[in-house]
Amino acid sequence: MENKWVQVWGQAHSNLSHFYYPSCEKTFRFVINSAISGHGIRLELSNEFARNFVEIGGITAALCDKDGTLLSEAETLTVRSAQSFIIKSGEVILTDAAKLSVSVGEYFAVSIFVKKGDLRSGNLLNNISLITASGEHTKTIRLSNERRKRDKVIEIAGQVLNLYLHKPLPLIQSVQVLNDTDASSVIVLGDSLSQQGFWTNRLEERIRSEYPGRYTIINKSIMGNRVLRDFSPRFPCKGLFGFSGIRRLQKDALDYPDCSIVILALGTNDFLQYGTIAAPKNEKPDVDAVFDAVLKMQDAVIKSGKKAVIINTVKFGDCIDSRPEKEQLAQKYNEKLKENADLFYAVYDQAEVLQDPDKTNCTRKEYLGNDKLHLNEKGGSAVADNFPLQLFE
């Protein structure tokens, strides 16, 4: 079969805000478990949301164990044949290809030595491990993670927001391997309900079991993300919620020819966020406008030769930010998706799967975290285990 570059891991970038990594000489080792095989590797590196340049002193890739201990000789990755290079503010660059053979289920490590520059562009995900250590350690066999003082900010923010925030993952936008088995990626374009990883990680487990070596799940969700509106500038963590789904669809999904399916899991924040600390009251959405935007997004997905799966909004009646008006808007949107399902390739009704039988505006309490909005592990499993895998056939 034809060789093609396929994402084995990736993320959508936003401004890391208070969670960023201040400038220092540090090695970042990303530990990835591969869902597909490959015989080459390259990276996309992003400095999109920083105001400063970042100086990279070296990058390597090697097979490793699940703890990040290197098991093979480290292969050097370059940019235009240079081992050291600058990533300008707002820039996204693609490295040269390097030789690395990885099989389905194997772990490999990408180690990046940052010589200088604040790392402000990235995301917070839990589907890979990140080890950080002061100094240049791209070829060091075993690294011990150094906890940073700024991690306390994440813990406090998690307590204030009543949710678990993962360790920030900077720099890398995608990791691609050269595949010859006709594998493809499935990109999830969602908000924090997807970013938390409870249903996306479980869905990946199911797909790996059912279709070994065929698909990778690439979680390009951004917390607080909305279909129609960018992050509100009044929000204290400016930029963290990212640009609107309709604005970032092209860059985060359609620009990747290896992608075969796009799962659009947005909309909840459009109806829940306005009138809170995150967005003003005048950003109240129009249901028809949100629906038309999602339909437009699907049309763009189809025109790019991919399939789109739409996931509706969760019931959020027990959430502290909920109001009857917001619940009615979200319900009207879900009903419109259901009534017009024939316009879409597939619509997945997660609201029905999760609904509290005694409170029609709420999700079952046993499926929710402490904030009564985000799913816990049990809720994530319910969403993933009811997801129709025949869509991947």
Q: What residue ranges do the domains of the chain occupy? A: 4-173, 183-392
Helical pair 324-339 and 287-303, crossing angle rounded to 10 deg: 40
CA dihedral 269, 272, 273, 274 (to 10 degrees): 130
Query: Residue 197 pLDDT more than 80?
Result: yes
Query: Residue 54 pLDDT more than 70?
Result: yes
pLDDT tens across 67-81, in order? 999 999 999 999 999
Q: Give the mean pLDDT of 6-23.
A: 95
Query: Residue 59 pLDDT more than 80?
Result: yes
pLDDT of residue 36: 98
pLDDT of residue 238: 82
Three-class DSSP category at 139: coil
Residue 236 makes CB contacts below 8 A (sequence gap 6+) with 277
Query: Residue 150 pLDDT more than 80?
Result: no
Longest C-alpha distance within the chain, in Å? 63
User: What percent of the chain is modeled with pLDDT above 70?
Assistant: 96
- Pairing outcome for strands 107-116 and 85-87: unpaired
State the Cα–Cα distance between residues 386 and 374, nearest whole angstrom.
18
State the Cα–Cα distance between residues 339 and 336, nearest whole angstrom.
5
Is the distance from CB of 68 to CB of 29 less than 8 angstroms? Answer: yes
pLDDT of residue 296: 97
pLDDT tens across 279-320, in order? 999 999 999 999 999 999 999 999 999 999 999 999 999 999
pLDDT tens across 97-120, in order? 999 999 999 999 999 999 999 999
Please state the φ and ψ torsions of residue 378, each to the nearest 5 degrees. -65, -40
Q: Give the mean pLDDT of 359-377.
A: 94
Q: Give the mean pLDDT of 354-362.
A: 95
Amino acid at 109: A
Q: Give the mean pLDDT of 85-100.
A: 98
Query: Residue 161 pLDDT more than 90?
Result: no
State the Cα–Cα distance between residues 267 and 123, nearest whole angstrom.
20
183-392 CATH: 3.40.50.1110
Lowest mean pLDDT among 133-147, 228-242, 293-307: 228-242
pLDDT of residue 166: 82
Lowest mean pLDDT among 11-15, 251-255, 256-260, 387-391: 387-391
Three-class DSSP category at 88: coil
Q: What angle do CA 165, 167, 170 make, to 5 degrees?
A: 125
pLDDT of residue 157: 65
In this prediction the pTM is: 0.95
Residue 305 makes CB contacts below 8 A (sequence gap 6+) with none
Q: Is 213 left (phi over 0), alpha (psi -120 to 50) or beta?
A: left
Query: Residue 349 pLDDT more than 90?
Result: yes
Please state the φ and ψ torsions of residue 204, each to the nearest 5 degrees. -60, -40
> Hey, how many other C-beta atoms are within 10 angstroms of the C-beta on 335?
12
Structure tokens at 312: 């509706």
Q: Please, what is the average pLDDT of the chain?
A: 95
Three-class DSSP category at 117: coil
pLDDT tens across 182-194, in order? 999 999 999 999 9
pLDDT of residue 194: 96
